[in-house]
């Protein structure tokens, strides 16, 4: 299937050391007139790979948090339609065609579109563990949406107007190996702690001692991680580790503020 470049869509990608993903990802974005990579000063070959694609504009910008980085990327886009995609995500041919048809239709009543995602664990789909209902904003009008400054991680898109949901699902290769996913979860936990600290959130004894255990049991039993076998245990544990890291970091922040 051959896709002709469109004139009114900007694909935005934020990166840090994503050389393992960039060639495959960028090769599949031939339908977009503009592709912008906003990079947090990678030390691998992310920049070189991105620069090898003529339709890609590579911008380096210091990373503060995910929300500010995404809003910066939006400010660099010249087209009305924004498609955000992470380096570890992939479009299926059907989803790509649905995106093109949607942009060409240019329905003025819809401001943003949610995508459901399929979570892949080492190239095999994870069916449960809380991921079965995972969905995220990926396509929206530039003048109708922005990421709220209240969130530093797991960003929230504020949308002015109607929201619709895509039929086809986005592929999400989030888990490639244990150590990289663990590092990601710990980083997310620290950003979430800063977010909570800035909001004045005061954790209780339950948060410090029981929230991570509750998170594991909820994802593993209620959200059926048990049906994903060993993979479910790993994912539920690492997600709970992120919660544990959140309160460890939050305690450190409050202790520092009291000195």
| Mean pLDDT calculated for residue range 169-196 | 93
Domain boundary (174, 206, 233) is at 174
- Answer yes or no: is pLDDT of 249 > 60: yes
At residue 6, the pLDDT reads: 55
59 and 108, same domain (yes or no): yes
Domain total in the chain? 2
At residue 5, the pLDDT reads: 52
At residue 51, the pLDDT reads: 95
The boundaries of the domain holding residue 93 are 7-174
Domain boundary (174, 199, 227) is at 174
166 and 71, same domain (yes or no): yes
Reported as a pLDDT band with limits 50, 70 and 90, residue 59 is very high
Q: Which two tokens stand for residue 76?
A: 């660099």
| Mean pLDDT calculated for residue range 199-226 | 93
- Answer yes or no: is pLDDT of 226 > 90: yes
- Answer yes or no: is pLDDT of 180 > 70: yes
Q: Which two tokens stand for residue 157?
A: 């898109």
* DSSP result, 98-121: HHHHHHHHT-TTEEEEEEEEEEEE
Contact predicate 13/86, CB 8 Å: yes
β-pairing verdict for 81-84 and 9-15: parallel
Going through 19-154 in order, the beta strands assigned E by DSSP cover: 34-39, 56-60, 81-84, 89-90, 110-121, 124-126, 135-141, 145-147
At residue 132, the pLDDT reads: 84
Q: pTM for the whole thing? A: 0.88
Closest Cα partner for 192 from 135, 130, 245?
Answer: 245
3-class DSSP assignment, residue 139: strand
Going through the chain in order, the beta strands assigned E by DSSP cover: 9-15, 34-39, 56-60, 81-84, 89-90, 110-121, 124-126, 135-141, 145-147, 157-159, 162-165, 170-175
Any domain includes 197? yes
Lowest mean pLDDT: which of 12-16, 129-133, 169-173, 245-249?
129-133
What CA dihedral angle connects 49, 55, 58 and 64, to 10 degrees?
-110
At residue 107, the pLDDT reads: 83
β-pairing verdict for 9-15 and 34-39: parallel
31 and 130, same domain (yes or no): yes
- Answer yes or no: is pLDDT of 1 > 80: no
140's CB contacts (< 8 A; 6+ apart) are 81, 82, 111, 112, 113, 157, 159
């Amino acid at each position: 299937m051959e896709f002709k470049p469109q004139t009114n869509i900007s694909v935005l990608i934020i990166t840090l050391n994503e050389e393992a993903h960039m060639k495959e990802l960028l090769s599949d974005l031939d339908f977009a007139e503009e592709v912008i990579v906003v990079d947090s000063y990678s030390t691998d070959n992310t920049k070189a790979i991105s620069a090898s694609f003529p339709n890609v504009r590579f911008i380096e910008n210091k990373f503060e948090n995910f929300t500010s980085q995404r809003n910066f990327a939006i400010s660099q886009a010249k087209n009305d339609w924004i498609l955000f995609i992470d380096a570890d995500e992939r479009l299926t041919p059907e989803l790509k065609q649905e995106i093109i048809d949607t942009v060409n239709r240019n329905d003025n009543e819809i401001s943003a579109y949610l995508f459901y995602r399929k979570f892949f664990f080492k190239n095999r789909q994870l069916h449960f563990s809380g991921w079965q209902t995972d969905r995220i904003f990926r396509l929206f009008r530039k003048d109708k949406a922005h990421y709220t400054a209240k969130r530093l991680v797991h960003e929230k898109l504020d949308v002015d107007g109607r929201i619709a949901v895509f039929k086809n699902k986005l592929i999400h290769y989030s888990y490639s190996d244990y150590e990289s996913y663990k590092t990601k979860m710990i980083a997310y936990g620290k950003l979430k702690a800063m977010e909570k600290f800035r909001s004045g959130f005061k954790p209780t004894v339950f948060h410090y001692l029981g929230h991570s255990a509750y998170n594991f049991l909820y994802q593993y039993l209620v959200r059926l991680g048990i049906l994903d076998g060993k993979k479910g245990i790993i994912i539920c544990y690492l997600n709970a580790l992120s919660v544990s890291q959140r309160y460890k970091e939050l305690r450190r922040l409050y202790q520092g503020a009291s000195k």
